[in-house]
Amino acid sequence: MSALHAIYRKFRFPFKFIHAAIRYPAAQSRVKRYSVMSIEETIDRLLRDPTLSLARYGDGELEMTRYKNIGFQSFNPELSARLKGVLQHGAAASPNCLICLPDAFRTTRNMRSGSALFWFFHKSFYFKNYESLLNKQYRYGNTSVTRPYHDYKGKELSGRIFDKFKLLYRNRRVLIVEGSGTRLGLGNDLLDGASEVKRITTLNRNAFSVYDALFHAVLTHAVNFDLVLISLGPTATVLAHDLSQHGIRCIDSGHVDIEYEWMLASATHKIKVEGKNVNEAGVLLGEQSCVADVTYQQQILQHVDDASASSVPAPEVSAEVAIVPLPHPGRTQHHAA
């Protein structure tokens, strides 16, 4: 069966490429109607405004708006509706939270061929599905501000961006919200400049299922911190936005730690990193996997799982986001990304 599938993919690709090439000029002309900052403009904006939060949309978040699964988050109609709502209304209604779109919407000229090809297909076939959620008057941040290494041909920019990223929390108290296998900053110097680091951990998979408990946990602890870094896939996008409405500065930090590890290793492809989730290299650790590092264990303030989430009330969110209707997933088949 795998051989037949390989043959199918081999002969399918030329037709798919031709189809995409026909559609691409019109799709690209629509993409160019929307303004996206460069990676460096985005990090500089964050450094200039110490109150600004960041909510990022990559391909996974955009696919979730159109009823798709991704590797560590099954399709959830409420999450899909929230992602649509933040994208559609957050730009205008939430000036203290910068909404980000992929760097490929700005340009792919500096990208490696594989990444550029991925976005060639994505824009050709899928951009039309969520274009109605975008705002031509808004200047979006750049999602790759936390992913400046792997996708790019030149590597000079990545070191500069990571150095600037570290300035966000130099001499500041940082609260990390992450899946239990993410372990942001463990084993490298990414967080060394922070004056204090604590963590709230949660599920590696389907973190949105405990969203209300996560929201309240961060709301409870954040008063003691200057900045919250959230690495939780699509859940982080919504959580960063919602918490920013309560005066909490949140950075949806995504894969920043893994990208930093890859830069330190001069990786030429998406390699595994010992003891950490690397979804794009096929590694998603078990929920019960342990860390021997005593300092890391002492940093954990709370672990939010299904048991601890059972009695937590739903958080209050912006009315403009809340009115977005739930989609009907039964009408559209979805597959793992």
Q: What is the reported pLDDT for 90?
A: 82
The model's pLDDT over 207-219, given as tens digits with 9 standing for 90+, comes to: 999 999 999 999 9
The residue-averaged pLDDT of 33-49 equals 98
- Measured CA to CA, the distance from residue 22 to residue 5 in angstroms comes to 25
Res. 27: pLDDT tops 90? yes
- Measured CA to CA, the distance from residue 85 to residue 41 in angstroms comes to 25
The model's pLDDT over 268-321, given as tens digits with 9 standing for 90+, comes to: 998 988 888 676 666 555 666 677 789 999 999 999 998 776 655 655 544 344
Q: Kindly report the pTM of this predicted structure.
A: 0.88
Q: What is the reported pLDDT for 11?
A: 73
Res. 44: pLDDT tops 70? yes
Q: How far does the chain reach from its first CA to its final CA, in angstroms? A: 20
The residue-averaged pLDDT of 82-91 equals 92
- Measured CA to CA, the distance from residue 60 to residue 112 in angstroms comes to 19
- Measured CA to CA, the distance from residue 123 to residue 193 in angstroms comes to 39
The residue-averaged pLDDT of 83-87 equals 96
Angle at 113 between CA 111 and CA 116, to 5 degrees: 60
The residue-averaged pLDDT of 234-260 equals 96
Out of 53-67, 162-176, 299-313, the most confident range is: 162-176
- Measured CA to CA, the distance from residue 238 to residue 242 in angstroms comes to 6
Q: What is the reported pLDDT for 282?
A: 65
Res. 331: pLDDT tops 50? no
Q: What is the reported pLDDT for 258?
A: 95
Comparing CA positions, the residue from 92, 86, 81 lying closest to residue 136 is 92
